[in-house]
Amino acid sequence: MRRDIKNPSAFIATWLPDAHVEAPTGGSVVLAGVMLKMGTYGFYRFAMPLFPDAVTAYGPFLIGLAVIGIVYGALVALVQDDVKKLVAYSSVSHLGYVMLGLFALNAPGVSGSIFQMLNHGVSTGALFFLVGVLYERRHTRQIVDYGGLTKVVPRFALIFMIITFSSIGLPGLNGFVGEFMILIGAFQYAPIPTVIAATGVIFGAAYMLWCFQRMMFGPLQNEENKALKDVNGRELAYLLPLVVLAFVMGIFPQPFLDRINPSVDRFVQRLEEHYEASPYACGDDCLPGWLAKETH
């Protein structure tokens, strides 16, 4: 079959937000919580260890793409009127941090990247589930169709608030730990791109809090919203473990990091050994700064 090459978007992953929007709730949760990690895990476990010279040669380019993904995803999320599409673009932005941490090529950045993979599955998966709960009752995802929901579904609003804070990286919740470690590690390698990437945290807080404000607060003007039922026992059984995990990972991250760090240490050590054996493998200019200091 002949591929359509007239549309440039055929070559980049513009399909992801649309896939989230069109998928049922369970599909979106599995896609965000599991499937999207296959790509970043593939980079960490296979592509980067097998091709260390390519990592340093193309690392700056991939860091640039990660920063573009962070800022672009956040800005597009900021103008969405469909709450599920907003969460989908926030997912794109958060996965940019994962790639930024991986190509920092140091222990804090890579550990934070892996931790952020877990965070993304918890926070974004929970957000998609919450959107699905609301859509099942009202059959609309338009933010303008809601407002004042705290008056009729207080338990739902409370859980939505906690997961929103988790997604934007509030200290004490899981998102803060991963993003902080990534930014610390990436700043050692690429300070200016890291500063630009940090604006994604600000934009993330803006679009998530603005969405929460418009949906949960204000007057209850839509008559159909007055009959909404709060989350039931089955839905609470799905959501409460994610809420608890968001607090546990944010307050006690060390048990998770203790299991992540040995693998990360071996990963970083392999890269160091490669450049100790062949410090000019790809030329002086493409050596990461933290390796160049050790090998020269």
Pairwise CA distance, residues 45 & 19, whole Å? 26
DSSP 281: T
Mapped onto helix, strand or coil, the DSSP state of residue 82 is strand
User: Which pLDDT score, from 0 to 100, does residue 278 have?
Assistant: 52
| Residue 163 near residue 130, CB atoms below 8 Å | yes
Mapped onto helix, strand or coil, the DSSP state of residue 142 is strand
CA 112 to chain centre: 12
Residues 6+ apart with CB under 8 A from 165: 173
pLDDT per residue as tens, the chain (296 positions): 344 434 444 434 567 888 888 889 899 999 888 888 888 999 999 999 999 888 888 889 999 999 999 999 999 999 999 999 999 999 999 999 999 999 999 999 999 999 999 999 999 999 999 999 999 999 999 999 999 999 999 999 999 999 999 999 999 999 999 999 999 999 998 999 999 999 999 999 999 999 999 999 999 988 999 999 999 999 999 999 999 999 999 999 999 999 999 999 999 998 878 766 654 444 445 555 444 544 44
Pairwise CA distance, residues 149 & 166, whole Å? 20
Q: Is 277 exposed, middle or buried (0-12, 13-18, 19+ CB in 10 A)?
A: exposed
- 82 bridge partner residues: 142
Nearest to 185 by CA among 294, 263, 267, 104: 104
C-alpha distances (whole Å) from 7 to each of 12, 22, 88, 92 are 10, 21, 22, 21
User: Which pLDDT score, from 0 to 100, does residue 13 have?
Assistant: 58
